[in-house]
Structure 1
Amino acid sequence: MTQQRPFFIPFLVPAVLVAVIFAAAMFNVFQYSFLEFVPGSVEVGGFTLDNFARINRPIYYWVLLDTFLLSFATAFFALVLSYPIAFAVVRAERNWVRSVLVVLAITPLFTGEIVRTYSWMLVLGTDGVINTTLKALGLIEGSIPIMYTRPGVVIALVQFAMPVMIILLATAISQVKRDCEKAAANLGATPNTVFWRVTIPLTMPGILSSFVVVFAWTMSAFSTPQLIGGGKVLMISNVVYLQGFSSFNLPFAAVLSLIALGAALGSLGLMKLATARFERKLATV
């Protein structure tokens, strides 16, 4: 009797191919980081460690710090705004209400990032929708500077991340058993108490997971901070672009890419430890 091959092996082939391609690309980037930059040419020189020594400058520390702060702020505000929508999507009693909410939530995914970013430029600009409306209402006299600022970048990134956050949170909320909430209500808990003491703790693993996903995703954002920030708000991806495609310093761009990857993996590792500790604490409650 011949032994049958596991059915899941064909499903592993695409993942293995993607992993191999990614590993080959990262090896090429790693190799470039040790090559000498030749000014005025796209060709590279021999082996050198000067690219790593150049990192020790305050500007790159500030860019990395900005990337962390903007990514954290984006994940936080996206979570705060997305949770009520995801809760309504799962708990809506009428199907048409649920359908409308789902369509409104995922529609932004069907428009490109550049299109959405340009739309936000029209909204956040000096003569944009926000400033024009506030002036018409007599609330302000001069324009509020929103474009080319960190808050403006965060606003655009939050809208970009919300559809994914809503989908992840809705999945987590749908796994909560209503019996737990009904039991708390039968014991005299108010709806607010049930929400904060039962629903939120039970969905906390999903909250943390969606936060981590959006945080890591935002760290690689490029076009939104590039256009909304206007060169005044830089994230690590923008600096990589400036070094690699404006200055043609591909070796130093490779170093920055490795640092960005290491920072993202390190932050994900720390958040994973925090998530595991919280889940263990929650299990003992």
Structure 2
Amino acid sequence: MSKRPFLIPFLVPAILVAVIFLAALAEILQYSFREFIPGSLDVGGFTLDNFARIYRPVYFKAVVNTFVLSLATAFFTLILSYPIAFALVRTKVEWVRTLLILLSITPLFTGEIVRTYAWMLVLGTNGFLNTMLLDIGIISEPVTFMYTRAGVVIALVQFAMPVMIIILATAISHINTDYEKAAANLGARPWTVITRVVIPLTMPGIISGFIVIFAWTMSAFATPQLIGGGKVLMISNAIYLQGFSALNFPFAATLSVIALISAFASLALMKLIANRLERQTAIH
């Protein structure tokens, strides 16, 4: 104990936060099994009807939407962030590195609501994107981005890219460039070096970034609420509508429990896939 005199004092805050968090989860869990009394904030007795309502189309669709949009956001964020992270790490021009850092990190300093409203101006029928496409002649009439899944994914990807870039840049920076030089000396083309050497070596970062963004997107609220406009319903928006609009706190708690179970189940499945991919890349 004398070798670590500050261990317990350092652990106390973390343990306290964990206890409070678990107590809050326990309260939500017990609320999910209580009966809703219309017109009252009080709850009734034990019931399983709240979980039976999950299978109604509107709520089941919200769960499916959450999973699909989270998966799409993580995938497109990875595809768009990897080249930027690679350029950020490997560029030898200082001003280019500084510019990439500024462009990558600056969105983190603006609030989610501000960025969402900015995207509403960009994606609107008369917004910047449609105006530009019309002026160039690519489209003959405005494309509907607002209140669609595509619009929600576009905004979510932009929000998630800074975090993904940081994770990928860290993974890429730990690669020994001698491996790439050896592959090039053996006749490998640049694209082959990227796909057969760099990407496999950064697979832990790719998997970590994908899982982080997937889990983060599952709890997204403001973006689907404003960009989706009620037509793209994710589970966080359904919880808000039930808890703060209908004041049905028991069913809102049930949706919260379902969201938590879905998140853990999805992350566990992705962890299994990630372990298999890591074993395959290690073999090759």
| Superposition TM-score, scaled by structure 2 size | 0.96
Rounded Cα–Cα distance in structure 2 between residues aligned with 1:277 and 1:39: 49
Q: How has the CA–CA distance of structure 1 residues 11 and 277 changed in structure 2, closer, same or farther, with 3 Å as cutoff?
A: farther
SS in 1 for 2:119: helix
Name structure 1 gaps, 5 residues minimum.
none
Corresponding residue for residue 217 of structure 1:
216
Cα shift at 1:198: 0.3
SS in 2 for 1:61: helix
Structure 1 window deviating more from structure 2 (37-46 vs 146-155): it is 37-46
Query: 1:152 is aligned with what amino acid?
Result: G
2:262 aligned with 1:238 = no
1:43-64: per-residue Cα shift (whole Å, max 9, x none)?
A: 2122222211222212222111
Percent of residue pairs bearing the same amino acid type = 69
Please give the alpha-carbon distance, in whole angstroms, between the structure 1 residues aligned to 2:195 and 2:86.
13
Bigger Cα displacement from structure 2, 137-146 vs 48-57: 137-146
What is the alpha-carbon distance in structure 1 between the residues aligned to residue 283 and residue 190 of structure 2?
24
Match status 1:172 vs 2:190 = no
* 1:142 partner SS: coil
The secondary structure found in structure 2 opposite 1:45 is strand
Q: 1:139 to 1:3 in 2, by over 3 A?
A: closer
Instruction: Give CA-to-partner distance per residue, 1:145-193, whole Å, 9 cap, x none.
Output: 1100010000000001000000011111111111111111111212111
User: Which consecutive residues of structure 2, in runs of 5 or more, have no partner in the other structure?
Assistant: none
Pairing 1:158–2:162 present: no
What is the CA–CA distance in structure 1 between the aligned matches of 2:8 and 2:178, rounded to whole Å? 39
Alignment of 1:264-279 (within 5 A): 264-279=263-278
What amino acid is aligned across from residue 128 of structure 1 in structure 2?
A: G
User: What is aligned with 2:16?
Assistant: 17
Which runs of structure 2 are paired with 1:73-152 in the superposition (5 Å)? 73-152=72-151
Whichever residue aligns with residue 134 of structure 1, its letter is L
Comparing 10-19 and 57-66, the one that deviates more: 10-19
Q: What is the aligned length?
A: 284
Structure 1 residue 209 displacement after superposition: 1.1
- What pairs up with 1:249-264 in 2 under 5 angstroms? 249-264=248-263
Counterpart of 2:41 in structure 1 is 42
SS of equivalent residue, structure 2 residue 175:
coil
* Letter aligned with residue 12 of structure 1: L
Call closer, same or farther: CA 1:9–1:284 in 2, change over 3 Å.
farther
Mapped to 1, the partners of 2:90 and 2:138 lie a distance apart of 38
Question: What is the distance in 2 between the residues matched to 1:84 and 1:9?
Answer: 44
Q: Counterparts of 1:208 and 1:6 in 2: how far apart (Å)?
A: 37
Of 172-181 and 157-166, more deviation after overlay is shown by: 172-181
In the TM superposition, what is the alpha-carbon distance from 1:278 to its structure 2 partner?
1.6
Work out the CA distance in 2 between the residues paired with 1:282 and 1:196: 11
After the TM superposition, which of the residue ranges 203-212 and 4-13 deviates more from structure 2? 4-13
Q: CA deviation at 1:204?
A: 1.0
The alpha carbon displacement at 1:8 in A equals 4.8
Cα distance in 2 for residues equivalent to 1:110 and 1:284? 42
Q: What secondary structure, in the 3-state scheme, does the structure 2 residue paired with 1:87 have?
A: helix
Q: CA RMSD in A?
A: 1.5
Q: After superposition, what is the alpha-carbon deviation per residue over 1:22-54, rounded to whole angstroms, capped at 9, x for unaligned?
A: 111111101111111111122212222221122
Cα drift, residue 11 of structure 1: 4.1
Change (3 A) 1:55 1:144: same
Give me the whole-angstrom Cα distance separating, in 2, the residues matched to 1:176 and 1:90: 10
Q: How far apart are the structure 2 equivalents of 1:138 and 1:266? A: 46
Instruction: Measure the CA separation in 2 of the matches of 1:13 and 1:101.
Output: 40
In 2: Cα distance, 1:167 partner to 1:268 partner: 21
Structure 2 match to 1:196: 195
Q: Secondary structure at the match of 1:208?
A: helix
Distance 1:198 1:7 in 2: 44
CA 1:237 to 1:196, structure 2 compared with 1: closer, same or farther past 3 Å?
same
Taking structure 1 as the reference length, the TM-score comes to 0.95
Find the residue that maps to 1:229 and give its secondary structure. coil
The one-letter code of the counterpart of 1:229 is: G
1:69 aligns with 2:68: yes
Q: 1:25 and 1:197, CA in 2 relative to 1: closer, same or farther beyond 3 A?
A: same
Label 1:88 to 1:249 Cα distance change in 2 as closer, same or farther (>3 A). Answer: same
